[in-house]
Amino acid sequence: MTLQLLISGFSLGAVYALIAVGFAIVFSIFKFSNIAHGGMISACAFIGYFFQSSFEEPPPFIVTALFTTGVGVLMALLIDTIAYRNIRKKQAPGLYYFLMSITVAILIEQILSVFFGKNLHTYAPIFSSTTFSIGGLRFSSIDTLIMVISLAILSALIFVINKTKIGLAIRTVAISPSTSQLMGINSSVVIMAVFAIAGALAGISGVLLGTKFSVYPSLGPSMMTKGFIVSVIGGLGSLGGAIVAAIALGVVEIFLTYWLGSLSTPIVLFGIMLLFLTVRPEGISGRFAKDKV
Amino acid sequence: MSNYQLSLIMLACISIITVCGVFAITSLAGMFSLGQASYMAISAYLTFCIARYQNLPVWVTSIIGLAGCALVAFVIGMPTLRLRRDYLALMTIGFGQMVQSIIILLDKYTNAAIGFSKIPKVNNLVYIILAITVLIVFMVRNLKYSRFGRMCIALKNDDIAARSFGIDVHGLRVKIYVIASLIAGVGGICYGLRNRVISPDAFDWSLSAEMQILLFFGGTNSLTGSVISAACLKVLPEFLKGVKLFGIDLQNCKTIIYCLLIIVVINLRTKGLLGERELSLSFLRGLFAGKPRDREGGEST
């Protein structure tokens, strides 16, 4: 039983990691908390669902996932254009970025709940049986699939950030946008790349969450809360810390739900977060995002 | 006046009270709190549940409710406000979820998601709420122009510089956070008295976010601007009742309309409609005489 809980916690943590990384990558560049990420996740979950149900025979899961990822990228670029581009041009303080992201998050949630919120939608099942067993242990097939996909995407992302040229540029802009511009880095391209990555992550996590749970307007924002807890514990803007914290949170949450029930879990999690901030405010990664030196 | 008009006035007043709370924390101290609705919930539930189960009058228990609010704000604020500003916003979202879970967990007393409706009726409620609103707006105005408010504005513009001038940054942040939560608590009690029913769903994070939106619509640093936009934007959707566009009831879309409005306003006029100015007699006189005026409240960061 314990091992099974551990595995389902791991898979939940992998999804949290996808969400938290999409959030952390925007934070590392712009130093603001992109709350709109949660809205994008719900929107992508809905789009994926409608894409899938527009066919008579549901297309393979991979097609839906790829399509939604593409839509997520486009949506992220659109949000950047309507919400952030103008205030970036005016070099407005961070407060306004934050306000815009709240506004976009509520806008998406409201549009979804006014127009599509009346009934619950569920994705077509991917597997014929919900569980499979190896050596006497029963695994949930969807959880395992989610875990494999999340880990694959996260490793690809870590490779892109650490080994490629655009990843180097992203890391440089995260340290100092103006200096990196002096070094010949086109920061507007980097900014678009960051939003595209965040959008792709939102798209894929929307589809995965929609398949695991069902599709409803507050799906993204409610998951986003977990993403926040993860990024606070992991250290704001740190990708590695976010992944470690996400896995830990997933495991802890599954165990807490098993022991205490799903209602008390948010209370205990919040307590843990508050305690953690008191003891180690810089997060697991130890890199503290400072306003200025 | 008919009951409907009275209830509209009360709606506008409650909106003004809550936006004043957000003004104290966001415009004066430059911090984002998305947990204001949770403080409304805490004080409302404490007040009305104790009033019901201990048979005490509401004005006694409202003191207990507000004290509870302040205590919770202090406990949450102590560790969080030591950190970067972003942490507060993130923490308060988690806090909101926690408060909702607690309310649902204590369903023996709070009646969970169905809503707690055993709220005593108060006569002449509209005068009481109007008086409270005027008092709160006056207090927040005094806060802005007092020494305390100027210290907050210094803190907002640059906390390191503020510290170098001998301002206790952390203590000041905790104080303004507790004050803002208290004002939200007052709003919550008024909300309960007006609606006569409170349910956990009414106090989720989108209500807190709506307050922020109303504040920024009126003007980042302008108390009069935010008061006017809080009252107008909250009441205007009532006139959309029954208006249909493409077969969609516009009343349902009121939040969508808010959001589109604020996106347009921030894109065109980043600091909100009134920006940093206050709508006062001297401002109007200066406007017609065409004299340039000093900015009040400092630049926002």
Domain locations in chain A as residue ranges:
2-279
Those residues with Cβ within 8 angstroms of residue A143's Cβ, 6 or more apart along the chain or in another chain: A7, A8, A11, A12, A212
Lowest mean pLDDT among A69-73, A106-110, A142-146: A142-146
Alpha carbon distance A109, A99 (integer Å): 16
Strand segments (E) across A102-232: 131-134, 137-140
Among A87, A105, A123, which Cα is nearest to A34's? A105
Question: What are the phi and psi torsion angles at A140 (to 5°)?
Answer: -80, 125
d(CA A243, CA B18): 37
Q: Which two tokens stand for residue B93?
A: 């979202």
Q: B residues 36-55 near A, CB within 8 Å?
A: none
Contact B87 A277 (CB under 8 A): yes
**Helix, coil or strand: residue A183:** coil
pLDDT at A24 over 80: yes
Contact in structure between B88 and B96 (CB atoms under 8 Å)? no
pLDDT: which is higher, B142 or A240: B142
Q: Which of A149, A291, A143 is nearest to B169 (CA)?
A: A291
- Asked if residue B254 is part of any domain, the answer here is no
Q: Can you read off the two tokens belonging to residue B39?
A: 């403080």
CA distance A266 to chain B (A): 6
Classify residue B150: in a domain, yes or no.
Answer: yes
Query: What domain range is B97 assigned to?
Result: 3-204
> Which one-letter amino acid corresponds to residue B3?
N
> Burial level of A155, CB count in 10 A (0-12/13-18/19+)?
exposed
Give residues with Cβ within 8 angstroms of A138, minimum separation 6.
Answer: A4, A131, A132
The whole-model pTM stands at 0.85
Domains of chain B: total? 1
Could you tell me if residue B216 is inside a domain? Answer: no
Per-residue pLDDT of chain B (301 residues; tens, 9 = 90+): 788 888 889 989 999 999 999 999 888 888 888 889 999 999 999 998 888 888 888 888 999 999 999 999 999 888 888 877 777 888 888 888 888 888 888 888 777 778 888 888 888 888 999 999 999 999 999 988 899 988 888 888 888 888 888 888 889 999 999 999 999 999 999 999 988 888 888 888 888 888 888 888 888 788 888 888 888 888 887 777 767 766 667 667 778 888 888 888 888 877 777 767 777 766 667 666 665 555 554 444 4
- Of chain B residues 241-280, which have a CB less than 8 A from chain A? 248, 252-253, 255-256, 259-260, 262-263, 266-267, 270
β-pairing, B244-245 vs A137-140, is: unpaired
Structure tokens at A61: 């899961």
Contacts with A289 from chain B: Cβ below 8 Å: 84
Q: Given an 8 Å threshold on Cβ–Cβ distance, is A96 in contact with B93?
A: no
Amino acid at A155: S
d(CA A150, CA A117): 28
Distance CA A69, CA B136 (A): 49
Q: What is the DSSP letter of A136?
A: T
Q: Nearest to residue B23, comparing CAs of B191, B143, B129?
A: B143
- Left (φ > 0), alpha (ψ -120 to 50) or beta: where does A60 sit? beta
Query: For residues A143 and A130, what is the distance between their CA atoms, to the nearest angstrom?
Result: 9
Residue B281 lies in a domain: no
Which amino acid, one-letter code, is at B177?
Y
Q: What is the pLDDT of residues B268-293, one digit of tens each?
A: 877 777 767 777 766 667 666 665 55
Q: What is the pLDDT of residues B160-219, one digit of tens each?
A: 888 888 888 889 999 999 999 999 999 999 999 988 888 888 888 888 888 888 888 888
Task: State the helix-helix crossing angle for B147-157 and B169-195, rounded to 10 degrees.
Answer: 110
* Three-state DSSP state, A158: helix
Residue A260's closest chain B neighbor by CA? B105
Does B161 reach chain A within 8 Å, measured CB to CB?
A: no
Query: Which residue of chain A has the CA closest to B160?
Result: A292
Following DSSP, what letter does each residue of chain B receive, concatenated?
--HHHHHHHHHHHHHHHHHHHHIIIIIIT----S-HHHHHHHHHHHHHHHHHHHT--HHHHHHHHHHHHHHHHHHHHHHHTTS-HHHHHHHHHHHHHHHHHHHHHTHHHH-GGG-B--PPP-TTHHHHHHHHHHHHHHHHHHHHHSHHHHHHHHHHH-HHHHHHTT--HHHHHHHHHHHHHHHHHHHHHHHHHHHS-B-GGGGSHHHHHHHHHHHHHH-TT-HHHHHHHHHHHHHHHHHTTT-EETTEEGGGGHHHHHHHHHHHHHHHSTT-SSTT----HHHHHHHHHT---PPSS----
Give the single-character DSSP code of A215.
B
pLDDT band at A286 (very low <50, low <70, confident <90, very high): low
B160 chain-A contacts, CB cut-off 8 A: 291-292
Select from B32, B252, B259 the Cβ nearest to the Cβ of A107.
B259
- pLDDT bucket at A290, cuts 50 / 70 / 90: very low
- Tell me, rounded to whole angstroms, the distance of Cα A142 from its chain centroid: 18
When scoring A78, A87, A95 by the number of chain B Cβ atoms within 10 A, the one with the most, hence best to mutate, is: A95
Q: Which residue of A has its CA nearest to B94?
A: A225
The larger pLDDT score, comparing residue B275 to residue A101, is at A101
Q: Domain A2-279 belongs to what topology?
A: ABC transporter involved in vitamin B12 uptake, BtuC (1.10.3470)
List CB contacts of B12: < 8 A, sequence separation 6 or more.
Answer: B230, B231, B234, B235
| Contacting residues of A for B170, CB less than 8 Å apart | none
Instruction: Enter the tokens of residue A243.
Output: 């992944």
The two structure tokens encoding residue B153: 């504005």
Is B267–A95 a contact, with Cβ atoms under 8 angstroms apart? no
- Which residues of chain B from 8 to 37 reach within 8 Å of chain A, CB to CB? 26, 30, 32, 34
In the numeric block, the tokens 């709070």 are attached to B110
**What is the Cα Rg of chain B in Å?**
19
> Tokens in use for B124?
């002449």
Q: Which of A100, A109, A270 sits opposite B266 (nearest CB)?
A: A100
- Which of B83, B99, B169, B246 to mutate against chain A (most A CBs within 10 Å)? B83
Yes or no, beta carbons of A228 and B90 under 8 Å apart: yes
Contact B259 A100 (CB under 8 A): no
| Predicted interface score ipTM higher than 0.90 | no
- Cβ partners under 8 Å of residue A235, min gap 6: A241, A242, A282, A283, A284, A285, A286, A287, A288, A289
How far, CA to CA in Å, does B214 sit from each of A2, A124, B17, B31, B80? Answer: 49, 41, 12, 16, 25
